[in-house]
Chain A
Amino acid sequence: MKYVDEYRDPRKARLLSVAIRKAVTRPWTIMEVCGGQTHSIVKYGIDGLLPSELELVHGPGCPVCVTPLELIDRAHAIAARPDVVFCSFGDMLRVPGSHSDLFQLKSRGADVRVVYSPLDAVKLAEAEPAKKVVFFAIGFETTAPPNAMAVWLARQKGVTNFSVLVSQVLVPPALTAILESPDNRVQAFLGPGHVCTVMGSADYEPIARRYRVPIVIAGFEPLDLLEGILLAVRQLEAGEARVENQYSRVARSEGNPQSQNLMAEVFEVCDRKWRGVGVIPRSGLRLRAEYQQLDAERLFEVGGIEANEPPECISGQVLRGIRKPHDCPAFGSQCTPSSPLGATMVSSEGACAAYYLYGRHVNREGAGR
C-alpha cells in the first residue's frame, strides 16, 4: 500500500540502523509510548537493529491494557443483563475479569457484539429499540473523538436506549507519572503519533522542558521507529530535550481542531485509575453533566464494583517500563494469549502478547528463561 510499503524498505532501515550506531556513544533508555509502536518493534525486530547501548522499554499506550479490572468487571455485570446488548471493540472480548470474560458471557447467552465503529452501536440501538445498547468506550485521545461523536449523535437523534461505559485516558499525565516515579529509567520518549494527530504536540512541550526528556512524536512503521530513535539519540547525545515530530506526514502541531472541539463538547477531564499504575490525577475523561443520561455506569448502578489484581501478574511494572515480559515467571506458561492472567497478554498492542507472538520467550542477552 502506498505510503506504508515505502516505510518498510529494508535497505533504508539498514542505513538508519548504521546512523544510530554512529550517533550512540553511551547507554540510553528510550520508551515507545504506544502499544502499536511496541507491536511493530517486536514484529519487525527493530530492537535487534540497535546497538547494545540502547534499550527500548515499552510504554503504557495500550488502551485495553490500562483499563482497570473493576471497569472490566462492571462491563461484565452490565453485559450479563438480559435486557442489554453490549458492544465493544474486538480486543476487549477476551480480557479476563475477576470471574469471566465477554466471550464466556456470550456463550452463556449474553448478547455481546463486536463493533468496528462506535457509530455501529448507535445504529444498533436505533434498530433494536426494545434493548438497551451499551458501548464500552475505552481508549486514548485517538478514540475519544469517535466515541464522543457516538454520544453526541445519540443525544441529537434522541436515541434513549444507547449508553456508554467510559474508560477514556490521556497520555501526557501518564508520561508525567512515569517520570515522577522514583524507579523511572526512561530518558527519552517516542511519542504517540496518532494521539498527537488528534491533540497536537503543545501538551508535550512542558514535559520535555520540565523533566529534560526528548520527546520525538513517531509513527508506527519500521522506518518511522528507526528515524524516531535516531532523532531521540541525537538529542540525548547533544544534551537537548525538545519535542520533535518525526510523523509530520500525519500529525500536525495543532492536531485536529474539529476532533478536539467534539471531545470538549462531550467529555471533561477527571482523575482516572490506570491498571497497574494506580490513580493519576486529571488523566482521564468522563461525560459532561449534560450527557449523564448516557452514562452506563450510572444507569446500571455498577460504580460500586471493585476488584483485586491476580498477584502473580507483573503487567503494571511492564506498562511502566520497569520490567520486561520475560521477567515474569508466569510468561508463556501460566499466562498465554489463550489463557491470559493480565491485560498486557490479551491485547495485540500489549507488550506480553507481542513478545509471545513473535517468539521472545528469552531475552536478547540469553539470560531469560
Chain B
Amino acid sequence: MPEVAVGDYVLVHVGFALSKLDEAEARRVLEILEELGQLGELEASQP
C-alpha cells in the first residue's frame, strides 16, 4: 500500500496491510452513539 505513512493505522492480515483505517469514519459511529446517549431517551427506557 504505497499511500501509507508512519503513524497511520492499518488492517494487517497474514503479514500484509490490506487497508488504511479511515479515522474520520472510525469516529462517526461513536459520535452518533454519543448523541443518542445525550438525548437520554434510550437510557431512560432501558428495562
Contact = CB atoms under 8 A, between A and B. Distances in A.
B30 A248 contact: no
Contact of B25 (A14, A120, A249): A249
A3 B12 CA distance: 14
A303 to B, nearest CB: 26
Contacts of B5: none
A22 interface: yes
A142 B18 contact: yes
A179 to B, nearest CB: 27
Contact of A250 (B11, B37, B43, B46): B11
B40 to A, nearest CB: 10
A365 B25 CA distance: 38
Given A15-B43, A250-B19, A146 B13 contact: yes
B9 to A, nearest CB: 6
A118 B14 contact: yes
A227 B30 CA distance: 10
B16 A149 contact: yes
A14 B36 CA distance: 11
B42 interface: yes
A286 interface: no
A50 B13 CA distance: 31
Given A3-B21, A250-B11, A15 B42 contact: yes
Interface residues of A, number: 38
Interface string B1-37: 1000000010101111011011101101110010011
Nearest to A1: B9
Contacts of A18: 42-43, 45-46
A89 interface: yes
Contacts of A163: none
B14 A117 contact: yes
Contacts of A116: 14-15
Nearest to B9: A3
B11 A248 contact: no
A145 B19 CA distance: 12
| Residue of A3, A22, A194, A252 contacting most chain B CB atoms (<10 Å) | A3
Interface of A: 2-3, 6-7, 9, 11-12, 14-16, 18-19, 22, 89, 116-120, 142-143, 145-146, 149, 194, 197-198, 223, 227, 246, 248-252, 256, 258-259
Which 4 A-B pairs rank lowest in CB-CB distance, beginning with the nearest? Answer: A117-B15, A249-B26, A249-B25, A248-B25
